[in-house]
Chains A and B, each alone.
Chain A
């Protein structure tokens, strides 16, 4: 790796082109994702001020609102992370760092969390942020009439109260060692309050590095640098414009013609062609985003674990990563924890495509053949229908007949997901193991899309949540990953990279892998070289 360090130095000094760097790093055995992110890190040295950063985002609709509680798409997530701050932040290195909270403490049972707030931070309207604002911002998501999408993840909070102007104390229903992570969730923006209520959750007024000048739902937002921003080393560009460009081709054209400086969701099919351009470059990070095929374990034939195992052995993960992701991703191991997660079980044997083992498990289940319907739509993830068609071909070799049912994109999440016995699903992933497992694998939670119920798993889940000792937690989370992989109702064939297209004028530090567009923070983290 010393050779790579030398190249990084050359790159940072401007004596080697980025393209050369990536090629040489790959020749030395680095993956594409690693090489490009190292190149980004090397170029990070000197952020410059100024310029207008224009982002083309492939999501967004006229129903967008600046109320982060109702936000579901990347357009508002990127805008929200420029206009608002949160109590905590997941850094580009994947570590939890303080944001509006300066520091925090926890009681030994992991039940009482005390957050010290940063002093002297001003909202865009001039109000100074204090504990009243934080409590109102949290309560915005709680209560019976809450329409917040974050209601479920904040549900463990039993009580939140102020201890003076600069301290907020959260009491949890049960011990929760990862609670500060949850406060970094993009829904939980801190907004100004008056008399214990938010002044207007849709105003766009926060403490973030940019003020929102003009907001058009589903079309465009223009932002201007907040001159009073409390972070000294962030918010480099003077202004930003976020454009919703849903059509992939339009987005790509806008990038190559210089109408925008960066785009998300590069079309993987043509990524190699875009990469040829001299003016733009591809960047990708591999994070927690993963695609699954979820079986309802409460519905025959998926009630039998041998049937589930047969289906897990009947899919060629490598082929899917190669064909559907065109190499922009890594294979999964039938559990939802990504390699970038803290407690990822590296030692768990990788499940491989093995039609004979699949047949063996079918026999164990007392079956000679199996016929199942698999529901998919491109709303589940880009290429989901193609992935299902490939799965069908792989499974046929194991005597399993998968009938691919293409469902309409419209209404996929309300009519297919959680309803059909076997369907394709997209997960953005979560920064912590507990968050991911308690969102979709714990018994009885609303998004347990496999309707899976495993006593041992549920027991360790609660124990690990209240455990503050890192090495004990590692052991627990490893066991849970093994249980999900061997007995769960989910096939996790692949983890997909976030692939972005950037103008060569744009520079940045190491890219955050927790979400798309540098952990949603592109506007305050990037600058013009």
Chain B
């Protein structure tokens, strides 16, 4: 246990370093983009005087390193700054969006993870049967369609033709829980189709891999039923890679859903980030990127800890 705690502490420290590096890269990246906030916000109506007035007010006329370290100093005091565009606190601006993103990710995960693992186990159990092949072709086809296209097809059937679900996820904070779930079903289903193949294939592969190991053969010789072998002997030992791939996909559900948010007009963090990059709204870009990076780092750490906990051999290397 102490070893795990030590590892967690070590990884968290490294994570902070990573966050620092990420913030610097993003800052420089946005800095290198042509144009700045003052120009982008004024667009076609930018005149030299108005641009200069904007820059003076926001401090954009200062050199980049001064602005970066000002921002960094603020972070250490828990101050993420104010959005250039709306003059609102970044934390306030991002809070609601982050909740929306996490909510969608949670609904998608609740639907997709059990289905993926169950299908994976079944496919392993009945491998090379028609069932296995059908599942395989279906999931491969679903991941080879771009996510916006999967979304359009779902909308065509479930919304336009049969009118079961709303075609846009028009959510607001005054909705009840189930109403909220109802409105995010279509984006959640889209995400499910996008990620399910990866998880299902990994589950199937890991279990099949284990079925070849001697102790499983021993169990088979003992006459234990196949389904019992898979669920009681193979699955627990295959957990590490399965957890790993699940966690990677959870990270995707939080970080990689910009396109789905756009298609369903869902006010999540991804769309906010893309918008803010386009407008060069640095404080919002930085804060959103840090949240995404932190999500990724924490989920990765969780995956590693869980892998170690489920596989003690990794805890005590020779």
Contacts and interface: CB of A to CB of B under 8 A. Distances in A.
- A adjacent to B, CB under 8 Å: yes
Interface of A: 61-65, 70, 72, 144-149, 151-152, 202, 214, 216-220, 243-247, 249-250, 253-254, 256-257, 259, 410-411, 413-415, 417, 426, 446-447
A473 B53 CA distance: 37
Contact of B262 (A202, A216, A247, A253): A247
B275 interface: yes
B57 interface: yes
26 contacts: A62-B83, A62-B93, A62-B272, A63-B86, A63-B275, A65-B87, A72-B44, A144-B49, A146-B49, A146-B50, A149-B42, A149-B50, A151-B49, A151-B50, A202-B87, A218-B275, A243-B265, A250-B168, A250-B263, A253-B155, A257-B160, A257-B167, A411-B35, A413-B44, A426-B44, A447-B44
Interface stretch (B15-23, B224-232, B276-284): B276-284
A151 B46 CA distance: 10
B167 A216 contact: no
B170 A243 contact: yes
Interface in B248-279: 262-265, 267, 271-272, 275-276, 278-279
Contacts of B311: none
Given A72-B41, A249-B263, A410 B48 contact: no
Interface string B44-66: 11111110011011000000000
B265 A217 contact: no
B132 interface: no
A411 B44 contact: no
Contacts of A249: 152, 263
A65 B34 contact: no
B265 A245 contact: yes
B33 A257 contact: no
Interface residues of B, number: 49
A417 B44 contact: yes
A233 B10 CA distance: 70
Question: Considering residues B41, B42, B45, B84, which has the most beta carbons from chain A within 10 angstroms of its beta carbon?
Answer: B45
A62 B167 contact: no
B43 A62 contact: no
B89 interface: no
Interface of B: 33-35, 39-50, 53-54, 56-57, 83-87, 93, 148, 152, 155, 159-160, 163, 166-168, 170, 172, 262-265, 267, 271-272, 275-276, 278-279, 281, 284
Contacts of A64: 85-86
A407 to B, nearest CB: 10
A435 B172 CA distance: 41
A414 B33 CA distance: 11
B85 A250 contact: no
Nearest to B58: A147
Closest 8 A/B residue pairs (Cβ): A63-B85, A414-B35, A149-B45, A414-B39, A253-B167, A411-B34, A411-B35, A62-B275
Given A254-B168, A259-B166, A148 B34 contact: no
B56 to A, nearest CB: 8
Contact of A72 (B43, B155, B275): B43
A447 B43 CA distance: 12
Nearest to B48: A446
A253 B267 contact: no
Contacts of A254: 167-168, 265
B61 to A, nearest CB: 14
A418 to B, nearest CB: 9
A257 B272 contact: no
B53 A145 contact: yes
A70 B57 CA distance: 14
Question: Considering residues B49, B57, B159, B279, which has the most beta carbons from chain A within 10 angstroms of its beta carbon?
Answer: B49
B85 A259 contact: no
Contacts of A246: 262, 265
B179 to A, nearest CB: 15
A144 B56 CA distance: 11
